[in-house]
């Protein structure tokens, strides 16, 4: 399915980043889809996921964070990442004001998106989807990164692999059980990159996302 490219203006100081939206004919909602710290919006995981979501009727807007757009240094600090997410949300609201809005992200992109929602009242956002929430650094199990999730008012969907090295399964369960609006889906055998042998994990992620979104839209 073909996408429509555009430039996303973040601010005069930060500049523009690349973005692309895919709008299926019979779409029921649109999601911002933020990439992780290791690969940008055009990575195969991001493009395959966006196309799989489109086949279920979910439109997406993918975008680069400035560090990835400029191919410089480590991942952006939260203030810059949050401004980028804000620009993506505002662009979706501008282009598709009648479509229900969801926020989502892979790893770093999901965590920055939830941090943004925790600090801002975005009533248009119907929920947030995490494709592998990075609960802690590899080999250092902890739950401090989840503290801000208590302030997120939107329903949350966690799609987590049981072999995710950045989210020990027991701690993910503990975290989601402590959150009033959280739904946790176990992706058996998948690591942080959602690789699980020869299993087609992308289609599983798209189906679980679509099923959950349909429930949210009925509320």
Give the DSSP letter string of 15-35. EEEEEEEE--TT-SEEEEEE-
Summarised one tens digit per residue, pLDDT across range 56-97 is 999 999 999 999 999 988 999 999 999 999 999 999 999 999
Q: Summarize the confidence of residues 130-148 as an average pLDDT.
A: 94
Q: Can you give the pLDDT at residue 197?
A: 85
Q: Can you give the pLDDT at residue 3?
A: 86
Q: Summarize the confidence of residues 116-138 as an average pLDDT.
A: 95
Looking at residue 145, the DSSP 8-state letter turns out to be G
Q: Can you give the pLDDT at residue 121?
A: 87
Q: Can you give the pLDDT at residue 1?
A: 64
Query: Tokens in use for 89?
Result: 């949300």
Query: Tokens in use for 196?
Result: 């699980």
Q: Summarize the confidence of residues 48-56 as an average pLDDT.
A: 97
User: Vertex 155, ends 183 and 210: CA angle to 5°?
Assistant: 70
Confidence at 166, pLDDT banded by 50, 70, 90:
very high
Average pLDDT for the chain: 95
Q: Summarize the confidence of residues 114-130 as an average pLDDT.
A: 95
Burial code of 11-39, b = ≥16 C-beta within 10 A, e = fewer?
Answer: eeebeebbbbbbbbeebebbbbbbbbbee
Query: Tokens in use for 1?
Result: 């399915």
Sheet containing 58-63: which strands, arranged edge to edge?
4-11, 15-22, 58-63, 29-34, 101-106, 125-131, 156-161, 182-187
Summarised one tens digit per residue, pLDDT across range 184-218 is 999 999 999 999 988 899 999 999 999 999 999 99
Find, among 141, 198, 186, the residue nearest to 161 by Cα. 186
Q: Can you give the pLDDT at residue 106?
A: 98
Q: Summarize the confidence of residues 15-34 as an average pLDDT.
A: 96
């Amino acid at each position: 399915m073909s996408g429509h490219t555009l430039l996303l203006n973040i601010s005069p100081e930060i500049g523009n980043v690349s973005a692309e939206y895919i709008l299926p004919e019979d779409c029921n909602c649109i999601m911002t889809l933020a990439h992780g710290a290791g690969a940008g919006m055009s990575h195969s995981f991001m493009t395959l996921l966006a196309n799989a979501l489109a086949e279920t009727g979910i439109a997406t807007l993918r975008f680069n964070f400035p560090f990835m757009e400029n191919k410089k240094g480590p991942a952006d600090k939260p203030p810059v990442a949050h401004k980028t997410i804000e620009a993506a949300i505002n662009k979706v609201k501008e282009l598709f004001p009648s479509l229900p809005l969801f926020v989502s992200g892979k790893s770093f992109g999901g965590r920055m998106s939830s941090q943004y929602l925790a600090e801002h009242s975005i009533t248009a956002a119907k929920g947030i989807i995490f494709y592998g929430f990075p609960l802690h650094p590899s080999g250092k199990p902890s739950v401090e990164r989840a503290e801000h999730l208590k302030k997120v008012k939107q329903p949350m969907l966690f799609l987590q692999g049981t072999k995710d090295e950045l989210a020990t399964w027991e701690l993910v369960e503990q975290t989601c059980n402590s959150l009033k609006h959280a739904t946790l889906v176990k992706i058996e055998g998948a690591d942080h990159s959602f690789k699980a042998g020869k299993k087609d994990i992308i289609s599983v992620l798209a189906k679980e996302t679509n099923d959950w979104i349909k429930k949210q839209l009925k509320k």
